[in-house]
A and B are shown apart, each in its own frame.
Chain A
Amino acid sequence: MTKAEIVEDIAAKTGLTKKEIAEAVDQFLKTVSDALAEGKHLEIRGFGTFKVKQRKARIARNPRTGEPAPVPERRVPVFKVSKELKDLVAAQKQPTSTPQ
């Protein structure tokens, strides 16, 4: 599923135009990423929580040469799925289409 399909579906169910919906969807994504970039978390009840985690610096290895490669401290965005969404997904019968 893509953004276009989401916009299409919402347009079919509401009186809003695709243009209005597309703008709101873009702003949705921008607002979430802006909040994360500011180090804020966003909790959406029944769906999940977007937050930022601090990863410590560590020494990794170049898998090809085996040489140590230092990885600096960094922050990464994470999404913690709500219990409701986990249960909803686990309740499905059929296997996933493409496990990629």
Chain B
Amino acid sequence: MTKADLVETIAQTTGLSKKDTNVVVNGILENISRALSDGDKVELRGFGSFKVKQRRSRRARNPRTGNPVDVPAKLVPYFKASNELKDKVNSNTTPVETI
């Protein structure tokens, strides 16, 4: 499924034009991205939440050369699915689509 399919489905169920639906979908994605880049979290009840985690700096290795590399501390975004979404996904038995 792509964003175009998503817009199509939302437009069909809401009766909104595809153009308006596209505006709303982009608005949702922009709001989430902006909140995360401001260090805020986004909580969508029944769906899940988008948050930012602090990763400590660490010393890793270049897997090819084996040389140590310093990885600086950084902020990473992540999504935590709600229990409702987890249950909904787990209740189905159709095979998982492979990418």
A interface residues (Cβ-Cβ under 8 A, vs B):
1-3, 5-6, 9-10, 13-14, 16, 20-21, 23-25, 27-29, 31-33, 35-48, 51-54, 74-79, 81, 85-86, 88-92, 94-100
Contact = CB atoms under 8 A, between A and B. Distances in A.
A41 B97 contact: yes
B69 interface: no
Chain A binding surface, main DSSP class: mixed
Given A1-B31, A1-B43, A31-B9, A37 B89 contact: yes
Nearest to B80: A79
B37 A88 contact: yes
A36 B88 contact: yes
A43 B1 contact: yes
Contact of B33 (A47, A74, A98, A99): A47
A39 B27 contact: no
A-B pairs with lowest CB-CB distance, top 3: A79-B79, A10-B27, A24-B24
B97 A95 contact: no
Contacts of B16: 16, 20, 23-24
Given A31-B9, A89-B77, A14 B37 contact: no
B92 A39 contact: yes
A20 to B, nearest CB: 6
Given A25-B28, A35-B1, A89-B52, A96 B39 contact: yes
Contacts of B65: none
16 contacts: A1-B31, A2-B45, A10-B31, A24-B10, A24-B24, A31-B13, A36-B89, A40-B97, A43-B3, A53-B96, A54-B96, A76-B81, A79-B81, A85-B33, A88-B36, A89-B36
A33 B85 contact: yes
Nearest to B79: A79
